[in-house]
Structure 1
Amino acid sequence: MNTFFKSILIATVVFFNTNTIYSQFQKEISVGIIQGTVYPTVNFDPIVTQEPILRYHGGLAIRYIAEPNVGIQAELTYSQRGWNEQSSSTGSFLKEVDYIELPLLTHIYVGKKSFRFFMQLGPKIRYAIQEKDKNTYLNSSSYQHINPIDNYFDYSLLGGLGIEIRTHKLGFVQIETRYDFGIGDMYSNRKSDYFARSSNQAILASINYFFPSFYVK
């Protein structure tokens, strides 16, 4: 009998604690600025040996948190991608491809009012707005050196982890890292084409600022 009453008591405490959390929760809308750097590569098949490069990534974000610990975040970003080939004896080749990107992410967080740990995951579409080559190879015949990309539209899956420091008057500061896994290919990949695979891949790091939230009912 005592066990039964203990179970009822525990269930009651959990119920009221849950109700308290939900009663204190307020839906919020936040607008932010994303500024960071990207380490891009391209997954080529056949393999193309690449050297590290760092490029710029930044834009705007809007986040809507409708439930405790879960929300959605949409972004409009400008991202510089491409790849870098280096040879100490024959020259170098740098392909720069700049994109406008539209990620739509599920935002999951844990933490208190002043500090949160968060994870984001979702799809991204992008469109190439500029392409440049810097080629110092003499008489290069490599396919990627003499041909522009075929596909300006691209898409990928994006996942990230970060921390958020929150102040109600000054807004929120985030430090975040992401991995961008490209699904589409930059070059055509039919059986008759040279590349079977040429997908964008990237590691991104950013410091983001969100203005103080608007709370809604």
Structure 2
Amino acid sequence: MNRLYRTFLLLLVTLPSILHAQVGDHRNDLSVGFNGGYTMSNVGFSPNVPQSQLGGFTAGATIRYTCEKYFKSICAIVAEVNLTQMGWKESITDQDNNPVINAFSNEAEQYQRQLTYIQVPLMARLGWGRERKGFQAFFQLGPQLGFFLNDKVTTNFEYDNRNISDRVGVQQYAYQDTIEIQNKFDYGIAVGLGLEFSRPKLGHFLLEGRYYYGLGNVFKNTKSDPFGKSNNNCLMVKLTYLFDIMRTKNGKIK
């Protein structure tokens, strides 16, 4: 995975020179704006911790530079700075897959931990369709960096009062509930697919589905640590608005 990550970084660094060497229609378009959306996330623990998706939000600023149209593909680089919520929501069940009832509260035990990050994705983008007026489909892919800010735990039981007898597997010890976030720096790969609608003087409106796969770990993963892997996974639906601050002067661009 680290080799794949380095390959994407190299691609993004060399993309402008590669595109300049191609025979295509030059573009010099710069657009900026803002984005927001809904996230559904979990953490890939090993050993596995049963989970459901944890909901959250993402919001931030977007900048896009379009450099060329090569055949029918519109080539661009997209960068964002986002405030994003990720984390995990545990499914605490017994060996029959029934909810574990806490002896003190007589309620099904619940635990979730929301992690807030500053995320900086940098993606190469390909689009197909209209640039100035109409619809354009797009695909984008690239590395993403994350910087942990804080976390928030929501639970309905005290750790020392958890129902150990009915829990199974790693949920009996629930190390993930007590360990502080140890790795403040996160990194991985982001991939998105979406549709853009553009209108002169109004700007660009984008709807995107995006997936982030973390290559780093939330917790340490040495032989003495309880988890060999604890990477972030996040699926998000995003809306973005962009307006042009620099645009290619070419009457043939549609």
Partner amino acid for 1:109?
G
Q: Deviation at 1:212?
A: 3.2
For the Cα contact (< 8 Å) 1:34–1:208, is it kept in 2? yes
Q: Which position in structure 2 is the counterpart of 1:94?
A: 112
The residue matched to 1:195 in structure 2 has which SS? coil
**Paired residues, what number?**
197
Partner amino acid for 1:30?
S
Q: Which position in structure 2 is the counterpart of 1:73?
A: 78
- Tell whether 2:152 aligns with 1:132: yes
RMSD between aligned residues = 1.8
Q: Structure 1-normalised TM-score? A: 0.85
Q: Describe how 1:1-217 pairs up with structure 2 within 5 A.
A: 22=25, 26-68=27-69, 69-87=74-92, 88=99, 89-90=101-102, 91-113=109-131, 114-138=134-158, 139=160, 140=162, 141-216=173-248
Off by >6 Å, runs of 4+ in structure 1: none
Q: Structure 2-normalised TM-score? A: 0.73
Q: Deviation at 1:191?
A: 1.1
Partner amino acid for 1:145?
D
The residue matched to 2:32 in structure 1 has which SS? strand
The residue matched to 2:110 in structure 1 has which SS? strand
Partner amino acid for 1:110?
W
Q: Which runs of 5+ in 1 are unaligned?
A: 1-18
For the Cα contact (< 8 Å) 2:29–2:244, is it kept in 1? no
For the Cα contact (< 8 Å) 2:54–2:86, is it kept in 1? no
For the Cα contact (< 8 Å) 1:37–1:206, is it kept in 2? yes
Partner amino acid for 1:65?
T
Partner amino acid for 1:38?
T
Larger strand proportion, structure 1 or 2? Answer: 1
Please give the per-residue CA displacement for 1:132-154, whole angstroms capped at 9, x wherever unaligned: 21232342441011111110101
Distance 1:117 1:53 in 2: 29
Identity of aligned residues (%): 32
Partner amino acid for 1:205?
V
Please give the per-residue CA displacement for 1:39-97, whole angstroms capped at 9, x wherever unaligned: 01100000001122210011001000111111101110000011111443231111111
For the Cα contact (< 8 Å) 2:28–2:65, is it kept in 1? yes
The residue matched to 2:222 in structure 1 has which SS? coil
Distance 2:113 2:230 in 1: 13
Distance 2:174 2:27 in 1: 57
For the Cα contact (< 8 Å) 1:170–1:212, is it kept in 2? no
Partner amino acid for 2:154?
K
